[in-house]
Chains A and B, each alone.
Chain A
Amino acid sequence: DAGVTQSPTHLIKTRGQQVTLRCSPKSGHDTVSWYQQALGQGPQFIFQYYEEEERQRGNFPDRFSGHQFPNYSSELNVNALLLGDSALYLCASSLFTGQGSYGYTFGSGTRLTVV
């Protein structure tokens, strides 16, 4: 049973460029959440996708956008990259319920370095 798969594992981009990160959820999960983890910090929630729509969003600018596909996989796009966007980006999948989500599974992350 495959867990959460993220690609690429590492990425180096230049300031001002755009980047796309990808995530395939765990089998049986239908919801994908993205988190940003800066060095030495806990993960910060970016947004969550369910039924191909953004359902919730954290305190991140519009430069951060996403998409969910019919097969539940997801992309995170970041435009006009800043040095401060350098971080580990984590994808977490879960099964949508009406009673809180207690089954998040995390991928190994994509390490983005902006130079």
Chain B
Amino acid sequence: AQSVTQLDSQVPVFEEAPVELRCNYSSSVSVYLFWYVQYPNQGLQLLLKYLSGSTLVKGINGFEAEFNKSQTSFHLRKPSVHISDTAEYFCAVNLVFSGNTPLVFGKGTRLSVIA
């Protein structure tokens, strides 16, 4: 079975500074990879996804992530954060070639942007 580990439960960062949110996964088969954002009292919004091809994936709101197969990682980065980026971020995986297998989520990283 696949699993996702988000290495940091909380990440405080000053406004306009860069940030990296770390995600490692475990799976014996190929996976699709996702990052979702959850603002307070809201559902999940897709930031970006890796399905195949280029390992550097660009998403919404200036975020990007890099898939590293050898390190089984999919870290999320943003070069300059804004106050509005304060939210919970979830990394998730989904098996390839297995029908509609469910998403498996990490426990989340709370990003707090400080003015």
Interface residues of A (CB under 8 A from B): 4, 6, 31, 33, 35, 40-45, 48, 50, 55-56, 58, 90, 92, 94, 96-102, 104-109, 111
A92–B94 alpha-carbon span in the complex (Å): 14
Interface residues of B (CB under 8 A from A): 4, 32, 34, 36, 41-46, 49, 51, 90, 92, 94-108
Contact in complex: A42, B43 (CB < 8 Å) = no
Known: A43-B103, A44-B105, A56-B100. 12 other contacts (CB 8 A): A6-B43, A41-B107, A50-B100, A55-B100, A56-B101, A92-B44, A96-B99, A98-B97, A99-B97, A100-B95, A106-B36, A111-B41
> Nearest Cβ in chain B — how far from A29, in angstroms?
11
Contact in complex: A90, B99 (CB < 8 Å) = no
Contact in complex: A43, B44 (CB < 8 Å) = yes
Contact in complex: A108, B42 (CB < 8 Å) = yes
Contact in complex: A43, B105 (CB < 8 Å) = yes
Write the chain B residue with the least CB distance to A44: B105
Residues of A within 8 A of B96 (CB): 99-100
